[in-house]
Structure 1
Amino acid sequence: MKIPVKGVVISSTDSDGSHSHKLYITSWGGRPVHSHEFKGVTSFDVGHRHAYAGLTAPAPSGVQHTHRYHTVTSFDDGHSHVITGVTGPAIPVPGGGHIHHFEGVTTVNGAMPHTHYYRGNTGNEVAGD
Protein backbone atom coordinates (compact mmCIF):
# COMPACT_ATOMS: atom_id res chain seq x y z
CA MET A 1 0.00 0.00 0.00
CA LYS A 2 1.38 3.42 -0.96
CA ILE A 3 0.63 6.49 1.17
CA PRO A 4 1.22 9.88 -0.47
CA VAL A 5 3.49 12.07 1.67
CA LYS A 6 4.43 15.71 1.00
CA GLY A 7 7.09 17.76 2.73
CA VAL A 8 10.38 19.57 2.43
CA VAL A 9 13.97 18.58 3.14
CA ILE A 10 16.29 21.23 4.57
CA SER A 11 20.02 20.66 4.64
CA SER A 12 22.49 22.53 6.80
CA THR A 13 26.14 22.58 7.71
CA ASP A 14 26.82 23.31 11.36
CA SER A 15 29.77 25.35 12.64
CA ASP A 16 31.54 22.09 13.53
CA GLY A 17 31.51 21.07 9.85
CA SER A 18 28.85 18.35 10.23
CA HIS A 19 26.19 18.16 7.55
CA SER A 20 22.60 17.18 8.27
CA HIS A 21 19.18 16.97 6.66
CA LYS A 22 15.81 17.48 8.32
CA LEU A 23 12.55 16.29 6.79
CA TYR A 24 9.44 18.35 7.50
CA ILE A 25 6.29 16.46 6.49
CA THR A 26 3.33 18.69 5.58
CA SER A 27 0.74 16.08 4.58
CA TRP A 28 0.28 12.35 5.10
CA GLY A 29 -2.23 10.42 3.05
CA GLY A 30 -3.74 13.68 1.82
CA ARG A 31 -4.35 14.99 5.35
CA PRO A 32 -2.47 17.95 6.84
CA VAL A 33 -0.09 17.05 9.66
CA HIS A 34 0.83 18.76 12.89
CA SER A 35 3.35 18.46 15.73
CA HIS A 36 3.48 19.55 19.37
CA GLU A 37 6.13 21.32 21.40
CA PHE A 38 7.08 19.61 24.65
CA LYS A 39 9.36 20.63 27.49
CA GLY A 40 9.98 20.06 31.16
CA VAL A 41 12.42 19.18 33.88
CA THR A 42 13.39 15.65 34.93
CA SER A 43 13.17 14.23 38.43
CA PHE A 44 15.92 15.14 40.92
CA ASP A 45 18.27 12.16 41.16
CA VAL A 46 21.92 11.74 42.22
CA GLY A 47 21.99 15.43 43.25
CA HIS A 48 20.76 17.07 40.04
CA ARG A 49 18.05 17.33 37.40
CA HIS A 50 17.98 18.13 33.65
CA ALA A 51 15.81 20.39 31.48
CA TYR A 52 14.55 19.21 28.09
CA ALA A 53 12.56 20.54 25.15
CA GLY A 54 11.62 19.36 21.69
CA LEU A 55 9.06 19.00 18.93
CA THR A 56 7.14 15.76 18.40
CA ALA A 57 7.20 13.91 15.11
CA PRO A 58 4.30 14.91 12.82
CA ALA A 59 0.99 13.02 12.78
CA PRO A 60 -2.15 13.33 10.63
CA SER A 61 -4.78 15.85 11.72
CA GLY A 62 -8.43 14.89 12.07
CA VAL A 63 -7.91 11.27 13.20
CA GLN A 64 -7.05 9.68 16.56
CA HIS A 65 -3.27 9.47 16.81
CA THR A 66 -0.14 9.54 18.94
CA HIS A 67 3.25 11.19 18.30
CA ARG A 68 6.80 9.92 18.61
CA TYR A 69 9.20 12.22 20.44
CA HIS A 70 12.97 12.34 20.88
CA THR A 71 15.30 14.88 22.47
CA VAL A 72 18.49 15.20 24.50
CA THR A 73 18.42 16.76 27.96
CA SER A 74 20.50 19.72 29.07
CA PHE A 75 24.13 19.02 29.98
CA ASP A 76 24.26 19.02 33.78
CA ASP A 77 26.63 17.39 36.27
CA GLY A 78 28.94 16.49 33.36
CA HIS A 79 26.47 14.57 31.20
CA SER A 80 23.12 14.50 29.40
CA HIS A 81 20.44 11.86 28.77
CA VAL A 82 18.26 10.87 25.82
CA ILE A 83 14.48 11.08 26.13
CA THR A 84 12.41 9.14 23.61
CA GLY A 85 8.94 7.63 23.47
CA VAL A 86 5.39 7.82 22.17
CA THR A 87 2.73 10.18 23.54
CA GLY A 88 -0.67 9.08 24.71
CA PRO A 89 -3.77 9.73 22.57
CA ALA A 90 -5.10 13.23 21.87
CA ILE A 91 -6.80 15.07 24.76
CA PRO A 92 -9.18 17.84 23.54
CA VAL A 93 -8.69 21.28 25.11
CA PRO A 94 -11.27 24.05 25.57
CA GLY A 95 -11.22 26.48 22.65
CA GLY A 96 -10.07 23.85 20.14
CA GLY A 97 -7.06 21.73 19.45
CA HIS A 98 -5.60 19.05 21.66
CA ILE A 99 -2.60 18.02 23.74
CA HIS A 100 -0.94 14.70 24.56
CA HIS A 101 0.41 13.26 27.82
CA PHE A 102 3.94 11.83 27.82
CA GLU A 103 6.11 10.19 30.45
CA GLY A 104 9.03 7.85 30.78
CA VAL A 105 12.57 7.27 31.97
CA THR A 106 15.73 8.70 30.42
CA THR A 107 18.66 6.64 29.18
CA VAL A 108 21.36 5.68 31.71
CA ASN A 109 24.33 8.05 31.91
CA GLY A 110 26.62 9.90 34.34
CA ALA A 111 29.77 9.21 36.36
CA MET A 112 27.44 7.38 38.75
CA PRO A 113 25.19 5.65 36.17
CA HIS A 114 21.56 6.64 36.71
CA THR A 115 18.28 7.61 35.02
CA HIS A 116 15.70 10.34 35.57
CA TYR A 117 11.92 10.18 35.39
CA TYR A 118 10.03 12.73 33.27
CA ARG A 119 6.38 13.48 32.55
CA GLY A 120 4.19 16.23 31.21
CA ASN A 121 1.74 17.36 28.57
CA THR A 122 2.61 18.70 25.15
CA GLY A 123 1.54 22.13 24.02
CA ASN A 124 -1.38 22.56 21.63
CA GLU A 125 -0.89 21.46 18.04
CA VAL A 126 1.46 23.29 15.71
CA ALA A 127 0.57 23.18 11.98
CA GLY A 128 3.01 21.28 9.80
CA ASP A 129 3.02 23.65 6.88
Structure 2
Amino acid sequence: MIGYLDIILRLTIWFLLTADLSSTNIIIGVAVALLLPHSATAPSPVRDWMRALGETLRAIPQAYFEAFEIILRPHKDEDTTMERVKPQRSPGLIFLDIFLITFTPKTIVLKYHQQGWYEVHWVKRRKRK
Protein backbone atom coordinates (compact mmCIF):
# COMPACT_ATOMS: atom_id res chain seq x y z
CA MET A 1 0.00 0.00 0.00
CA ILE A 2 2.77 2.44 0.88
CA GLY A 3 4.55 1.92 -2.44
CA TYR A 4 1.40 3.09 -4.18
CA LEU A 5 1.34 6.27 -2.06
CA ASP A 6 4.93 7.06 -3.08
CA ILE A 7 4.04 6.58 -6.75
CA ILE A 8 0.91 8.74 -6.39
CA LEU A 9 3.01 11.48 -4.73
CA ARG A 10 5.57 11.34 -7.54
CA LEU A 11 2.86 11.42 -10.22
CA THR A 12 1.13 14.34 -8.53
CA ILE A 13 4.38 16.30 -8.47
CA TRP A 14 5.01 15.37 -12.12
CA PHE A 15 1.57 16.61 -13.21
CA LEU A 16 1.92 19.81 -11.18
CA LEU A 17 5.30 20.49 -12.80
CA THR A 18 4.25 19.68 -16.36
CA ALA A 19 0.59 20.84 -16.24
CA ASP A 20 -0.15 18.33 -18.99
CA LEU A 21 -2.58 15.41 -18.70
CA SER A 22 -2.11 14.03 -22.20
CA SER A 23 -1.73 10.28 -22.57
CA THR A 24 1.92 10.66 -23.60
CA ASN A 25 2.70 12.74 -20.53
CA ILE A 26 0.89 10.24 -18.28
CA ILE A 27 3.02 7.42 -19.69
CA ILE A 28 6.20 9.46 -19.20
CA GLY A 29 5.10 10.39 -15.66
CA VAL A 30 4.46 6.76 -14.71
CA ALA A 31 7.84 5.77 -16.15
CA VAL A 32 9.60 8.54 -14.22
CA ALA A 33 7.74 7.64 -10.99
CA LEU A 34 8.77 4.00 -11.32
CA LEU A 35 12.37 4.67 -12.39
CA LEU A 36 13.24 7.18 -9.67
CA PRO A 37 15.21 5.59 -6.83
CA HIS A 38 13.12 4.37 -3.94
CA SER A 39 13.87 5.01 -0.29
CA ALA A 40 15.85 2.45 1.65
CA THR A 41 14.10 3.50 4.86
CA ALA A 42 11.03 1.79 6.23
CA PRO A 43 7.82 3.13 4.68
CA SER A 44 5.65 5.45 6.75
CA PRO A 45 2.34 4.16 8.11
CA VAL A 46 -0.82 5.03 6.21
CA ARG A 47 -2.00 7.17 9.16
CA ASP A 48 1.06 9.44 8.66
CA TRP A 49 0.10 9.88 5.00
CA MET A 50 -3.52 10.65 5.97
CA ARG A 51 -2.32 13.18 8.55
CA ALA A 52 -0.14 14.81 5.86
CA LEU A 53 -3.16 14.94 3.53
CA GLY A 54 -5.16 16.69 6.27
CA GLU A 55 -2.34 19.17 6.84
CA THR A 56 -2.24 19.86 3.10
CA LEU A 57 -5.97 20.58 3.01
CA ARG A 58 -5.63 22.93 6.00
CA ALA A 59 -2.67 24.74 4.41
CA ILE A 60 -4.69 25.97 1.42
CA PRO A 61 -7.02 28.35 3.31
CA GLN A 62 -4.14 29.29 5.62
CA ALA A 63 -2.07 30.35 2.59
CA TYR A 64 -4.89 32.58 1.32
CA PHE A 65 -5.38 34.09 4.78
CA GLU A 66 -1.66 34.84 5.14
CA ALA A 67 -1.48 36.35 1.65
CA PHE A 68 -4.35 38.75 2.40
CA GLU A 69 -2.85 39.53 5.80
CA ILE A 70 0.47 40.49 4.21
CA ILE A 71 -1.32 42.66 1.64
CA LEU A 72 -3.48 44.46 4.20
CA ARG A 73 -0.91 44.71 7.01
CA PRO A 74 2.64 44.56 5.63
CA HIS A 75 5.14 42.44 7.53
CA LYS A 76 8.57 43.97 7.90
CA ASP A 77 10.36 41.74 10.41
CA GLU A 78 12.17 38.53 9.58
CA ASP A 79 13.40 35.62 11.62
CA THR A 80 15.14 32.32 10.98
CA THR A 81 14.45 29.32 13.19
CA MET A 82 15.39 25.66 13.32
CA GLU A 83 12.46 23.25 13.45
CA ARG A 84 12.72 19.56 14.25
CA VAL A 85 11.59 17.01 11.66
CA LYS A 86 8.83 14.77 12.97
CA PRO A 87 10.26 11.42 14.08
CA GLN A 88 10.62 8.51 11.64
CA ARG A 89 9.55 10.42 8.52
CA SER A 90 10.04 8.87 5.10
CA PRO A 91 11.67 11.02 2.39
CA GLY A 92 8.25 11.48 0.77
CA LEU A 93 6.74 12.83 3.97
CA ILE A 94 9.78 15.05 4.58
CA PHE A 95 9.24 16.46 1.09
CA LEU A 96 5.57 17.12 1.91
CA ASP A 97 6.56 18.85 5.16
CA ILE A 98 8.97 21.12 3.30
CA PHE A 99 6.34 21.78 0.62
CA LEU A 100 3.71 22.72 3.23
CA ILE A 101 6.07 25.06 5.09
CA THR A 102 7.05 26.76 1.84
CA PHE A 103 3.46 26.82 0.49
CA THR A 104 2.34 29.44 3.01
CA PRO A 105 3.48 32.99 2.14
CA LYS A 106 5.08 33.81 5.51
CA THR A 107 7.51 30.88 5.61
CA ILE A 108 10.09 29.15 3.46
CA VAL A 109 12.48 26.30 4.19
CA LEU A 110 15.99 27.52 3.53
CA LYS A 111 17.71 24.21 4.16
CA TYR A 112 17.03 20.66 5.28
CA HIS A 113 19.73 19.36 7.60
CA GLN A 114 20.36 15.61 7.49
CA GLN A 115 20.49 15.58 11.31
CA GLY A 116 16.71 16.08 11.29
CA TRP A 117 16.18 19.85 11.23
CA TYR A 118 14.56 22.36 8.87
CA GLU A 119 15.99 25.88 8.69
CA VAL A 120 12.88 28.05 8.27
CA HIS A 121 12.72 31.74 7.32
CA TRP A 122 9.69 33.63 8.68
CA VAL A 123 8.20 36.98 7.74
CA LYS A 124 6.55 38.53 10.79
CA ARG A 125 4.68 41.64 11.79
CA ARG A 126 6.65 44.05 13.90
CA LYS A 127 5.57 43.83 17.51
CA ARG A 128 4.39 47.09 19.04
CA LYS A 129 6.41 48.35 21.99
Question: TM class, shorter-chain normalised?
Answer: under 0.3
Greater helix content: 2
